[in-house]
Each structure stands twice: as C-alpha cells, then as structure tokens.
Amino acid sequence: MNRDDIIRMAVECQLVTTANREGIYIEALERFAKLVAAKDTELLQQLLWLCSKDGGWTLEEAANTICEIENILLARLEGEQ
C-alpha cells in the first residue's frame, strides 16, 4: 500500500479531502495504515497456520478459503454504502 492508496481510502472514508493531501494528519494516516497492514499480515499468517494444522487443510486450500471469505466480506461492505 502506497501513499496514494492511503490518501484515496482516506478520501473515500471522508477523513480528508482531495485538497488536503499533505501535512501531519496524512503522515499519521500513513503510519496507522502501516500498523493495520502489519497486523492484518500477522493475523492472516496465524489463520493460515491454524487452518492447515487443525483443519487438516493444505496452505493453498486455507489461503483460497480465506480469499473467498474476504471477497464475500468486501462485497457486503460495498453493498452497505
């Protein structure tokens, strides 16, 4: 995720405007986005490990299932807007 992605998402969530793309607030949003991405990666790794170990799935099966769930959740989120 790069700075433009973060700004685009922040504008979409009405946290900033397209005219207000600089400054301390944007830097704080970038730091926050990096923390969230790191936590998401950590949680995904834990979930993959649990599914493959306890569920008896291969890592590929677990990853495919997680991607399907993510797509369903994103579609629901988009439908709520």
Of 1-5, 9-13, 32-36, give the lowest mean pLDDT range: 1-5
Rounded to an integer, what distance in angstroms lies between the CA atom of residue 47 and that of residue 49?
A: 5
Cα 72 to Cα 12, 61, 62, 65, 75: the distances in Å are 20, 17, 16, 11, 5
Round the average pLDDT of the chain to a whole number and report it: 77
Q: What pLDDT is recorded for position 14?
A: 78
Domain ranges of the chain: 3-80
Taking a C-beta distance cutoff of 8 angstroms, is the pair 15, 29 a contact? Answer: yes
Locate 7 and state its tokens. Answer: 């700004």
Rounded to an integer, what distance in angstroms lies between the CA atom of residue 22 and that of residue 24?
A: 7
pTM above 0.75, yes or no: no
